[in-house]
């Protein structure tokens, strides 16, 4: 069975929709460079579409009605969007769940130092990355700092044309004999991922004059001091905007498409849901790249707490209804999958691989080895999803995450499946996943949006 190009399965009019849709997608990627920025942007757009803050109902005790639209902001790092259905919550929800964190470099708590006329910033990488890919490329800094006066300072440096950028340095080829003899994993190691910050010394300063000059500039421009780094949350990401890729502009090249491609398509899909039978929900979670742990990850009690609050706002509270709402839900775990790369064919088994440009890919299971750490969707739910996709002209394919025993990975699927919900992974194939600049096909992005919308109807 071969995967026919999705481009050949749509009319010219729909092709125009693909390209216009992905213009908005590129804008989203260029703005939502971190989980905080993604959270802010999703809520901003949701408000424009008439979504209200669910916290308002928590406080007032007002009951919701069918057709109401809500968002909940969880610690400025995770978001949930709801369109309330006509059926009671205990019948379950139709959920599409994505994540909005991406691999990156995080600034350490005691980061700034000087060495040999250079000021540098120490980092700790976040998620699974090939460290050498982050060397010598322009980097931006985003995050939050609180100064000693308790003021919150939002930091965004390196995205505007007038901004400076930052970088990790690498060894020149002329002296790389020993480095090139190492494995790729050893060519650059974690403690070498230091960001170049400055070179001009502060006059009349005897010790660490370059570092002190950087601190002086930070104080003047951003009003925080060295001690404030200890309580800061700063993230280093590739600088620059999302771009069209290829002569035919058929693809998108950008940082953070894992998994903001699914976040954007989920967001746009739920914006178009009106008066569904079952409540529709879009989940946009943090910390997936490091196991979904912490208080903003899918493994936290955020989801259970939210469903408890919703059941309480529906009418007379009953814990049994909460449990039923979780168990009876149906979920698409919206995450990217590996796209077959003809330059690296040995890691994938072609008959069960996703191909760029062949539509959204469903992944029955992830995990590794003997399906360890996976949520294995059942045939009944797969049949149901296929029926929905066919009825709404969604071009789709199926895949595994590489050859058996080659490696593996996971998503938030098993964390929702633990309640007894039906869960299936579904998302676009991606090339160069977890690199600074990932690749998706615009047709796959659009088909993901169509799939998520059809599922939530």
pLDDT mean over 202-211: 95
Helix-then-strand count for the chain, H and E: 12, 23
**Rounded-to-integer distance, Cα 113 and Cα 326, Å:** 49
By the 10 Å C-beta count (0-12 exposed, 13-18 middle, 19+ buried), 325 is classed as buried
pLDDT tens, residue by residue, 353-368: 999 999 999 999 988 8
pLDDT tens, residue by residue, 235-271: 999 999 999 999 999 999 999 999 999 999 999 999 9
The b-or-e profile of 294-314 (16+ CB within 10 A means b, else e) is: eebbbbbebbeebbbbbbbbb
pLDDT on residue 58: 87
**Rounded-to-integer distance, Cα 82 and Cα 275, Å:** 11
Q: Residues spanned by CATH 3.40.630.10 within the chain?
A: 6-102+255-456
pLDDT tens, residue by residue, 50-78: 999 999 998 888 899 999 999 999 999 99
pLDDT tens, residue by residue, 88-129: 999 999 999 999 999 999 999 999 999 999 999 999 999 999
Residues in the chain: 457
**In the Cβ-directed half-sphere of 167, how many Cα atoms lie within 13 Å?**
10
If pLDDT is split at 50, 70 and 90, which confidence band does 373 have? Answer: confident
Tokens 């009019």 locate to: 13
**In the Cβ-directed half-sphere of 163, how many Cα atoms lie within 13 Å?**
17
Q: What is the overall mean pLDDT for the chain?
A: 96
By the 10 Å C-beta count (0-12 exposed, 13-18 middle, 19+ buried), 5 is classed as middle
pLDDT on residue 20: 98
* Whether the predicted pLDDT of 1 surpasses 70: no
Rounded to 10 deg, the angle between the 442-456 and 257-271 helix axes is 50
Q: Could you tell me which of 243, 273, 259 has the C-alpha nearest to residue 448?
A: 259
Q: 8-11: long-range contacts at Cβ-Cβ below 8 A with a sequence spacing of 24 or more?
A: 9/359, 9/395, 10/395, 10/443
Helix (H, G, I), strand (E, B) or coil at 167: strand
Cβ atoms within 10 A of the Cβ of 198, count? 23
- For residue 378, what are its two tokens? 């059942």
pLDDT on residue 151: 97
pLDDT on residue 401: 87
249 Rama sector, left if φ>0, alpha if ψ -120 to 50, beta otherwise: left
If pLDDT is split at 50, 70 and 90, which confidence band does 141 have? Answer: very high
Q: Please answer whether residues 239 and 139 qualify as being in contact, where contact means their C-beta atoms are separated by less than 8 angstroms.
A: yes
**Rounded-to-integer distance, Cα 281 and Cα 377, Å:** 20
pLDDT tens, residue by residue, 278-315: 999 999 999 999 999 999 999 999 999 999 999 999 98
- Ramachandran angles phi, psi of 454, nearest 5°: -60, -40
pLDDT on residue 374: 85
Residue 21 CA, chain-centre distance (Å), reads 19
As beta bridge partners, residue 368 has 372, 408
pLDDT on residue 258: 95
Higher pLDDT, 228 or 2: 228
**Rounded-to-integer distance, Cα 77 and Cα 57, Å:** 21
- Provide DSSP, 85-133: -SS-GGG--EEEEEE----EEEEEEEEEEEETTEEEEEEEEESS--GGG
Q: Which CATH architecture has domain 6-102+255-456?
A: 3-Layer(aba) Sandwich (3.40)
Report the first-to-last Cα separation within the chain, whole angstroms. 30
Radius of gyration of the chain from Cα atoms?
A: 23
Pairing of strands 118-126, 104-115: antiparallel
- Identify the H or E element spanning 83: strand 78-83
Q: Residues spanned by CATH 2.30.250.10 within the chain?
A: 105-238
**Rounded-to-integer distance, Cα 413 and Cα 374, Å:** 8
**Rounded-to-integer distance, Cα 398 and Cα 207, Å:** 60
**Rounded-to-integer distance, Cα 187 and Cα 178, Å:** 9
DSSP label of 255: T
* Whether the predicted pLDDT of 399 surpasses 70: yes
The third-level CATH classification (topology) of the domain covering 105-238 is: Aminopeptidase i, Domain 2 (2.30.250)
């Amino acid at each position: 069975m071969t995967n026919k190009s999705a481009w050949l399965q749509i009319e010219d009019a729909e092709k125009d929709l693909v390209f216009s849709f992905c213009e908005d997608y590129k804008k989203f990627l260029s703005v939502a460079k971190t989980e905080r920025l993604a959270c802010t942007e999703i809520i901003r757009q949701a408000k424009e579409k008439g979504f209200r803050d669910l916290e308002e109902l928590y406080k007032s005790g007002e009951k919701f009605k069918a057709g109401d639209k809500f968002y909940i902001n969880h610690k400025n790092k995770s978001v949930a969007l709801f369109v309330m259905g006509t059926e009671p919550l205990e019948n379950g929800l139709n959920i599409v769940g994505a994540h909005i964190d991406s691999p990156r470099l995080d600034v350490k708590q005691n980061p700034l130092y000087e060495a040999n006329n250079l000021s540098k910033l120490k980092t700790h990488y976040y998620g699974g990355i090939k460290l050498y890919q982050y060397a010598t490329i322009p980097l931006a800094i985003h995050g939050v700092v609180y100064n000693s006066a308790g003021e919150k300072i939002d930091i965004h440096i390196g995205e505007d044309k007038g901004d400076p950028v930052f970088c990790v340095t690498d060894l020149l080829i002329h002296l790389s004999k020993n480095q090139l003899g190492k494995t790729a994993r050893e060519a650059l190691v974690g403690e070498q991922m230091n960001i170049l910050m400055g070179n001009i010394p502060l006059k009349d300063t005897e010790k660490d004059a370059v570092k002190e000059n950087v601190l002086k500039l930070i104080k003047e421009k951003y009003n925080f001091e060295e001690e404030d780094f200890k309580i800061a949350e700063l993230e280093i990401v590739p600088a620059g905007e999302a771009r069209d890729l290829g002569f035919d502009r058929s693809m998108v090249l950008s940082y953070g498409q894992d998994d903001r491609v699914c976040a954007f398509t989920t967001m746009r899909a739920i914006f178009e849901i009106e008066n569904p039978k079952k409540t529709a929900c879009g989940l946009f979670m943090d910390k997936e790249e490091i196991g979904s742990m912490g208080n903003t990850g899918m493994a936290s009690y955020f989801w259970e707490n939210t469903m408890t609050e919703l059941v309480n706002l529906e009418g007379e509270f009953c814990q049994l209804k909460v449990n039923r709402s979780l168990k009876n839900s149906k979920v698409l775990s919206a995450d990217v999958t590996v796209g077959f790369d003809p330059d690296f064919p040995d890691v994938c088994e072609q008959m069960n691989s996703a191909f760029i440009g062949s539509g959204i890919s469903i992944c029955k299971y992830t995990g590794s080895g003997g399906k360890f750490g996976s949520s294995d969707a059942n045939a009944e739910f797969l049949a149901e999803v296929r029926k929905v996709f066919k009825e709404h002209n969604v071009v789709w394919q199926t895949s595994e995450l590489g050859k058996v025993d080659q490696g593996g990975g996971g998503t938030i699927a098993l964390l929702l499946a633990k309640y007894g919900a039906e869960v299936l992974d579904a998302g676009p194939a991606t090339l160069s996943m977890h690199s600074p600049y990932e690749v998706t096909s615009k047709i796959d992005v659009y088909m993901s949006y169509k799939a998520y919308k059809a599922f939530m109807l």
